[in-house]
Amino acid sequence: MNFIQTHNKAFRAEWLKLRHSGTVWLLLGATAFIPIINTIAGLLRDDVADVGGRNVWDQLIQTNLSIFTGFFFGMFLILTVTRLVYLEHRSETWKLLETQPVPKFAIYFAKWEVAVLISLLALIGLVLFALLNGGILMIFRKDYTLDTHAPTLSTVLSVVARYWIGALGIISIQYFLSLLVKSFAWPLGIGLILLIAGSIFAGFGVLNWFPYSAPIYTTNSYEGSMTGKLLLHHEVMGLLWGALFLWLGYQFFVRKGFLRAFLLPVRHALVTGLVIGIFLALAWWVNKPMVLDRYHQTVLAGQLTGNDKVTSVALLQAPANDTLLVLPVRNGKFHAVIPHPLEAGVYTVRAGKQQTQVFMGTADSTYLNWEVKDKVSEVKVMGTRVAENSFLRNMDTYRSWALTENAYKYSPKEYASRALSEFKKVRKNIYSYKTVDNIRPADDFRQVQEKLLAVQFLNWTDNYYPQIHSVYYPNDKLEYPKSLDEIRKVVQLNDPSLVGYANYRTYVTEHYRARSHRNDSLFFYYMDTEMKDGKVKDYLMYEAAQTNLSRIKDSARRDALLHSVLPSFTNAKLKGNLEATALRMTNLQKGKKAYNFSAEALNGRQITLQQLAGRYIVVDVWATWCAPCKKENPVFDELAERYTSEQLAFVSLSVDEDRNQWRMKAANRGSKVLQLRAGPGDEEFSRAYAINTIPRFILIDPKGKIVNADLPRPSEGEFEEMLQKEIAGLSERRIDNPGWD
């Protein structure tokens, strides 16, 4: 009881000293500055910042906190702690304090506690000024829609606590430095250097255990733990740093000298070593990356918000997007236990128009917190593969300017050396990756990513650079050094774990195309004879056969191709798909009956192909999001102006999902073109006309029969020539009424 009373007296005494120290004004100025600037900017800016559907208040508070804690908060802590201690140095009151009937322990900790309390008040003050910032904007800027939301109190309290705990390391270290060096400038300067170093480390994403980086790392992980932890590991390190330097500072404060505090007598050195050893052990344990254990079942579950029209969620598997599972959505939630084995890999989860990719496999529990919107969606993937899915969302595809745009500058030896050097660097990043929770991906995922990285580099060395070399060094033979084998040995030509990735399929396909010198017959022969029967061979031959079937115009040649490749397949579904493709292509030959599609006109009426019978119809299959389509639109419209007649009609058929986007763009196109929209879900139209890519141009005769199912693009001269060749007597003329009313 006596200890508590004396401690309280010491604390109140320290608090009273703040009245004339200017600390209160420093506190108010530091916390009000950023919100005032944001308020002025918010009132003056013309546009409204896009918050991506988030709570506007939460976004506003986060913006203020992020700017403040990026540098100002650390600087405020350094300045405040240094000033608190220097006041005693300047007035030489340390000895006077020690003569008071108060334990040294209370004197020492009271000043530290005041600094800790001021740091908390700074964060709370910043939040309060941010709320005032929002209140002013809510009154004068109605377009910010602040009146439709309210701050999420739990989120604000959580992030303030995390900033505060993470900052304990800075406070204790600065306290120790200020006791050690009896000046104001030196502790302040050292603290500033350490703060700048922490900012640089955080900018490069390294040394997240460094105490002066903690506020920035908390800002970078504002939403906190992905696994429900209260603190992230760098914030726990703030506690450890705080405890270590608080102890060190107390030893120095009591024993009045560095040697006496830590080294002499020997027992002091032993105790110091023991304390530092315990700190290092705890720090190692906190910073050691962990791998999450697998679950006892394979579970896919989640919650959908933002779109109550979604009634089911589908799990699809690449490369053919086979539907493995359809889960009903009830009250915005879905849940399923997958009974059959699931190969670890990237799968597509589709909800309505939106889809996302997740990495999962057998004995994984995967939970999706999914906000579904009309055009975009936000997905948080949690569960046993949280690190793997975080990697997929946060790690961009590696690009190398040297190995692509500047490839012509290198000899084969130099190119191989550069490729190997960059490969090792990026591979190191893969194996060092961990989440904000200090969770690293499992080995099976890291190995797949290493293989995909090797595929990317081998696509450059084996497919891209040889083309560059043949142009710039036509008389030199391309020979790589043996060192490149370090990349080659990472990936095999028959790896089932990679077949779902397009880059891998491209790499293997290009390998066999190069071997066969682009001869289709040899290409299929090499793949059939050199690859083992199974998943990889099936899918690679399937993709190549699909491409060839779409390109071949003669039905006899298509039948010959099918006859040669179908016996090689072990997957009956893929064989059936190829046969269906060949049948569709046959049905698209000249003289075959065209599929009678039905589509929506701008006036809302449904129009079928049969209703357009009586004249030739040239159809432009396009979409508002398709860049090549938009390039062809003006040319198509201009030809419609010249050739629309009782003999020929021009129809623009959109496959847009977004009806409003289509109406807005289509309404501004040529008046001689009938604007239609096939709409979402009309997969039969795409199948019937074998629409794999757009734009696509189709010519149909007056009896509804195919004339040409794959016309050249209007920007090519052959388009107009083909119209004149196929339509007898076609000439350029105009009519006032094209007949679309």
625 and 646 co-located in one domain: yes
Task: Supply 537's token pair.
Answer: 């061979």
- Read off the CATH number of the domain in which 680 is found: 3.40.30.10
Residue 739 pLDDT exceeds 50? no
Are 158 and 274 members of one domain? yes
Identify whether residues 315 and 213 lie together within a single domain.
Answer: no
Q: Does residue 328 contact residue 348 with C-beta atoms inside 8 Å?
A: no
578 and 623 part of one domain: no
User: Which CATH number covers residue 362?
Assistant: 2.60.40
Residue 290 gets which letter from DSSP?
B
Provide the 10 A C-beta neighbour count for residue 311.
11
Distance CA 200, CA 193 (A): 11
Q: CA 78, CA 122: separation in Å to the nearest integer?
A: 13
Question: Is residue 714 domain-shared with residue 581, that is, in the same domain?
Answer: no
Which pLDDT score, from 0 to 100, does residue 16 have?
83
pLDDT of residue 733: 54
Distance between CA 213 and CA 684 in Å, rounded? 57
Tell me which of 246, 266, 287 is where a domain ends: 287
Question: Is residue 395 a part of any domain in this protein?
Answer: no
The answer to whether 541 and 528 are in contact (CB under 8 A) is yes
The pLDDT value recorded for residue 248 is 96
Using the structure block, give the residue that is written with the tokens 């004004």.
25
Sheet holding 354-360, edge to edge: 322-328, 312-317, 345-351, 354-360
Give the residue numbers spanning the domain of 277: 2-287
Which residue type sits at 7? Answer: H
Using the predicted structure, report yes or no on whether residue 736 has a pLDDT greater than 60: no
402 in a structural domain: no
Domain limit, last residue, from 322, 354, 389: 389
DSSP codes, 288-305:
S-B-PPPPSS-EEEEEEE
pLDDT for 189-214, tens place per residue? 999 999 999 999 999 888 989 999 99
Do 634 and 538 belong to one domain?
Answer: no
518: pLDDT strictly greater than 70 = yes
pLDDT at 735: 46
Output the pLDDT for position 197. Answer: 96
Same domain, 212 and 307: no
Q: How do residues 543-586 score in pLDDT, each as one tens digit? A: 888 888 877 877 788 888 888 888 888 888 888 888 888 887 88
Q: Are residues 280 and 311 in the same domain?
A: no
pLDDT at 50: 58
Quick: pLDDT tens for 681-693.
Answer: 557 788 888 887 7
Residues 300 and 520 sit within 8 Å (Cβ to Cβ)? no
- Give the pLDDT band of residue 69 (cuts 50, 70, 90): very high
**Residue 592 forms part of a structural domain:** no
Is the pTM here over 0.85, yes or no? Answer: no
Give the separation between CA 135 and CA 153, rounded to whole angstroms. 16
CA distance 497 to 511: 18
Q: What is the pLDDT of residue 245?
A: 97
Contact 342, 325 (CB under 8 A): no
Between CA 480 and CA 459 the distance in angstroms is 14
Mean pLDDT on 266-281: 96
* Residue where a domain stops, chosen among 287, 314, 336: 287
